[in-house]
Structure 1
């Protein structure tokens, strides 16, 4: 970097807190630090022109897990851990709404639905059978039943006639959410620098030296909020998971409204006005999708189009308007990693594909580690 005296003075001198990653977690951490330390110099570094990862690339689901997802989690986590995780996701959603406001994020409480393909007989039967049990263990959080069986009224095909409805789910506008977060960060005198790739760091005991290529500066503390890109940082506790997404052109007389889950959460879709956004499919090739590379693959895109044609929009013409991908952070456990790595180094990562729900809370918890 060929920096001037002014640039060094204003951005890279006497830095108290440096946050790596300007997504949901990073900006909430920055805002929480500002609340706690009004006079601190807070710097956010972002390697992309826009927030990388999934914060501006997700589907805009304000959700905390479909019924079949929760049942699958109970196979690998204790009941206490699963309930605790759902409670954190729910708290995170309330925190997000409180900080940004429902109008700013275009919060639409249409409810959520889970579909079951006809061939998924076993998954459907288990979901229906264990629905009362899941409602019971979630009642202390929601004070009423979360899941209920409803007849499909949307005209989907090749699925069971019953859907599982969840009145507590909603849609948000991901772009509006991130713009509002960025506005609040700038208003709080938080410095944000884009296209700054942290290539290394060293905890010196009383401060941290942070390398940006061939340039380095010092900060009192550093916080990593890099989620799917945190593999090396956490010694393998976080693995990247690519999510591929597409959106249709406007569809005349579209009668689908809400957030929808399919195949244990591996597929998800929603309306955005009179368009359908559909994503998922990493279970078709886990190895290929455990990557930090953005892009699309034929196997996933073909499956998404097949679902549109044969399940979601049968007997309707549609055109694909746009395709993209995002990088999530997953691991053997769905419990986020919020930890102190050394004297002055901290991280808040592994959001398990639930960044919209839990990101605000993890960012707050990350800032509260000091």
Structure 2
């Protein structure tokens, strides 16, 4: 497809910054660029008709770390990095809410909960809570964000669960509404959104970047910001990012659903929430790490079967349900859960590898990528 004179002149002539990836990170980067420099011509290239990857395909958790997840992270990451990452997630959520407003993103301060299956794990968690609460108080301002919530177990009706831990500083968002609000703000600031445009490769020189796109052909920009998360190595193979598929389902409405909020179990590998009276449930990637290390956006029978089994045995035991919809999204992971936000050359910045926490990390990552880019213009 060749661009017409009108298309090229309107959207791509004298382009200052090309943002590749129109998810939460890319749109925040583009919007931040225009807020700081309204004179810049900024275009977002998004391969999908809708944001492709994970931004509208996740569970909509406004969370910053369950207890068993944090304990597991401490076995793989230095304490300082774990604490900094928790704070960054919380601060990112605050920034998201400040930028767009709670009503626009459907924010619900319903808290986060972790299901604990055995007494030994709960004993370890309770022993760690004073330390974890001291860390969390530094950025939440709450002296006891985490607490024993087992008294609510009978109220929720979960099976295979002996204890609960409650995090009162977490909540839920509607990520479809969030992304719609973010797109509206970006466009209102003067950002151009180019959906259905896939950047196949980039050629850099000292003066800028030439993007080879489908279906528009070559497009030149002074600077590029790559915000493609789990797909990052398709453009920047030097980055240590591994794609990871996350599969999700949502049920039909369930009369008198007994719980509200964000829930995790098994070190965060399983997660569920209410959407009104529906149950949205995702995870089970640990059932097949190799098979789920992919950019193929499909669902698989064995993962979906496990999710349905957990619904029957743990989440809504004894309750008839029907699955209304199934889908998957692609996360970006790495050897550490900390995101990559860095200059990869004199003309290109990357903001990728959100570690399954794009809702929490995406706003700050995008704004930091914008700041790095502005420093070179």
Aligned partners of 1:328 and 1:353 also within 8 Å? yes
> How many Å separate the matches in 2 of 1:314 and 1:128?
27
> How many Å separate the matches in 1 of 2:239 and 2:202?
18
Matching residue of 1:244: 247
Q: Over aligned residues, Cα RMSD in angstroms?
A: 1.2
> How many Å separate the matches in 2 of 1:234 and 1:32?
26
| Aligned counterpart in structure 2 of residue 359 of structure 1, from 348, 357, 362 | 362
> How many Å separate the matches in 1 of 2:360 and 2:237?
22
- How far 1:165 moved relative to its partner? 0.2
Matching residue of 2:147: 148
Q: Structure 2, unaligned stretches of length 5 or more?
A: none
> How many Å separate the matches in 1 of 2:69 and 2:360?
15
> How many Å separate the matches in 2 of 1:298 and 1:218?
43
- How far 1:236 moved relative to its partner? 4.9
- How far 1:234 moved relative to its partner? 4.6
- How far 1:142 moved relative to its partner? 2.0
Provide the aligned length of Structure 1 versus Structure 2: 367
Aligned partners of 1:112 and 1:259 also within 8 Å? yes
Kindly provide the CA deviation profile for residues 273-306 of structure 1, in whole angstroms up to 9, marking residues without a partner as x. Answer: 0000000010000000010001111221111001
| Aligned counterpart in structure 2 of residue 127 of structure 1, from 101, 108, 125 | 125
Check if 1:41 corresponds to 2:44. no
> How many Å separate the matches in 1 of 2:98 and 2:132?
27
Matching residue of 2:100: 100
> How many Å separate the matches in 2 of 1:35 and 1:186?
12
Q: Structure 1, unaligned stretches of length 5 or more?
A: none
Aligned partners of 2:111 and 2:166 also within 8 Å? yes
Matching residue of 2:274: 271
- How far 1:122 moved relative to its partner? 4.4
Matching residue of 2:218: 216
Aligned partners of 1:203 and 1:343 also within 8 Å? no
Aligned 1:78-89 pairs, distance under 5 A? 78-89=78-89
SS in 2 for 1:157: coil
- How far 1:117 moved relative to its partner? 2.5
Matching residue of 2:320: 317
Matching residue of 1:204: 205
TM (normalized to structure 1)?
0.97
Aligned partners of 1:231 and 1:240 also within 8 Å? no
Matching residue of 2:172: 171
199-208 or 23-32, larger mean C-alpha shift: 199-208
Kindly provide the CA deviation profile for residues 124-166 of structure 1, in whole angstroms up to 9, marking residues without a partner as x. Answer: 3322221222112222122311211122130111111x20000
> How many Å separate the matches in 2 of 1:302 and 1:236?
34
